[in-house]
Amino acid sequence: MTDTEAKRKTQLDSGHVVVTAIPEDGESSMDPCDTSVASAKCIIEQVTIMFSGSQFDRGHRSSLVLHLAVFSISAAIALALIPDGVTRAFAQNNNPQRQSERAGGGPEVARGKYVVEGVAMCGECHTPRDSNGNLDQTRWLQGAPVPYLSAKHDSNWPLDAPRIGGIPPASDDDMIKLLTTGIWTTGNRLRLPMPQFRMDRSDAEAVVAYLKSLTPQQ
């Protein structure tokens, strides 16, 4: 047994092993393994000292092996999840929808979010798609090519849907008028495939509040 091992004392506490180090004069009393992420070398050293003591019977050693196995599996799972968690967190931070949620806005914004995403389905036309045809969440409601064509040739069919997230294309009153009557600033109804909404005023106001809560993208 080395000097370092001889200076460590092992205690048995309700079936758990506690390993502490006895520092030399002038030496720091902090255990070199007492860090947020213990190194493999420290773990191996502790286990070696645990099993070298003559006061441990077979039952205690079996318990130590079980605890070590559980710790190792838990650590492996945690490490495996870190990259995915970091990636997901980065994507959420750059998602205008998440930015809106963090910004708050109260129940009116939450209600508008529900109407836009779950009822009116505005993102289907007003959000660009990636190479796989999925809605690009990083450019939510920032305008996009209209993904649908008329069943019959229509020279008046729009090619692009405008940006509505962050900075709506009209004033609050004009947007509310569109959503409650279907009439645009020109005095006419918007062309298909834009739905002719007939929302009540409270829903229309909530939609406008949600759209304005989003961060406009370049």
Instruction: From 211, 200, 217, 120, select the one nearest 170 (Cα to Cα).
Output: 211
Q: Say which CATH architecture domain 96-213 belongs to.
A: Orthogonal Bundle (1.10)
Q: How confident is the model at residue 12 (pLDDT cuts 50, 70, 90)?
A: very low
Amino acid (one-letter) located at 16: H
What does pTM read for this prediction?
0.53
H-type helices in the chain, by residue range?
3-6, 40-52, 58-93, 96-103, 106-114, 123-126, 172-181, 201-213
User: So where are the chain's domains?
Assistant: 3-91, 96-213
pLDDT of 205 strictly over 90: yes
The mean pLDDT value for 101-126 works out to 87
Task: Kindly report the backbone phi and psi dihedral angles of residue 144, in degrees, each rounded to the nearest multiple of 5, phi listed first.
Answer: -165, 160
pLDDT, position 2: 56
Query: Residue 85 is encoded by which pair of tokens?
Result: 């968690």
Q: How confident is the model at residue 217 (pLDDT cuts 50, 70, 90)?
A: confident
Tens-digit pLDDT profile for residues 122-165: 999 999 999 999 999 999 999 999 998 888 988 889 999 999 99
Contact yes or no for 111/206 (Cβ under 8 A): yes
Contact yes or no for 165/211 (Cβ under 8 A): yes
